Amino acid sequence: MPPVTREQPAGTGLAALGGTTYRHSRRGPVVVSPAGGRGGNPRRPDRSHGLRRSAGRRLLTAVVSLLLLTGIGFGLLLALTPGVGDAPARVATQTRGGGLLVGSPPLRVQQALVATEDSRFYSHSGVDPIGSLRAVLGPLLGQADPGGATLDQQLAKLLYTGGRRTLTDRIEQVALAVKIDHRYSKPEILRLYLDTAYFGHSYTGIAAAARGYFGRRPQDLSWTQASMLAGLVQAPSAYDPFTHLALARSRQRHVLDRLVATRVLTRSAADAAYAAPLRLVSGG
């Protein structure tokens, strides 16, 4: 005979207490919700995914808008700043009778200068983004000279903004540096810089500095002398070897350390250059 099943009257048992009913299957009783679905509360729609997508779209829109505004602003800045085609003529005017380089620029001075002042010179397009941001924000943070300017920016400062360091001038120098890098090759930029940089003790340009400090042509400078001159451009008066030899030697050590860090010199070669005599001309 088939088994007898006892049915519970409506409104009695566990179903009446919790609003939950059961039905039997071959695998045992299954909980059925009052609405006829399987256990648990009815599923609510997940709104968090939609909110995240909306926030992501807003952020993307803000970033794109900022980039567009920055591009438009920089385009206007390029249009408002002067051209740089006259840079060689400006350099010739500013040498103050010191004379321009003859022949190839001195390789040792170039390498020492790049290692110390702008180690990414050959890879950037006139502006090092991190360094430029530091140069612009430095005055706002109370830093007199935060550094970070590329050789292109330093050349722009020397030739077009009168050596000034105001926030407006720093922003203008960024645009001019881009123009300089676009107009001239890297060797040409180094030549322009070396011809117009101030090396202290009234010496403008590497030709005047090499002759005035060491009685030599720039191409004949030793590593000892080249590293000394490359260190002067940051603060020519403070590091003048005729009047502040100890400070000049400390700066020279820094330049040699940078040459080691950029793998131009070995540690032993740098130490030998530091130990060698400077052979400054007498009188100063």
Q: Across residues 251-269, what is the average pLDDT? A: 98
* In a domain? residue 39: no
In the chain, the number of structural domains is: 1
Answer with the residue of higher pLDDT: 43 or 239.
239
Q: What distance in Å separates the CA atoms of residue 208 and residue 205, rounded to the nearest whole number?
A: 6
Q: In this structure, is residue 195 part of a structural domain?
A: yes
Residue 267 belongs to some domain of the structure: yes
Is the pLDDT assigned to residue 169 strictly greater than 60?
A: yes
- What average pLDDT is seen over the chain? 80
In a domain, 30, yes or no: no
pLDDT above 70 (res 249): yes
Q: What is the mean pLDDT of residues 11-24?
A: 48
Q: What pLDDT sits at residue 103? A: 87
The domain of 161 spans 81-275
Alpha carbons 36 and 47: distance in angstroms, whole number: 25
pLDDT of residue 36: 47
What tokens were used for 254? 């820094």
Instruction: Provide the pLDDT for residue 60.
Output: 65
What is the tens place of the pLDDT at every residue in 50-65?
667 777 777 666 656 5
The answer to whether position 65 is within a domain reads no
Domain annotation covers residue 234: yes
Most confident region among 11-15, 23-27, 28-32, 272-276 by mean pLDDT? 272-276
Does residue 35 register a pLDDT over 80? Answer: no
| Reported confidence tier of residue 257, pLDDT bands at 50, 70, 90 | very high
Q: Distance between CA atoms of 160 and 173, rounded to whole angstroms?
A: 8
Say what angle helices 267-275 and 223-232 make with each other, to 10 degrees. Answer: 80
What is the pLDDT confidence band of residue 5, given thresholds at 50, 70 and 90?
very low
Residues 91-143: tens digit of each pLDDT: 998 886 678 998 889 999 999 999 999 999 999 999 987 766 766 666 666 66
The CATH number assigned to the domain holding 249 equals 1.10.3810.10
Q: For residue 23, tell me if it sits in a domain.
A: no
Percent of the chain with pLDDT over 90: 52
- Domain assignment present for residue 191? The answer is yes
CA distances from 100 to 70, 123, 161, 215 (A): 39, 27, 21, 16
Q: Does residue 33 register a pLDDT over 60?
A: no
CA-CA-CA-CA dihedral for 90, 93, 94, 97, to nearest 10: 150
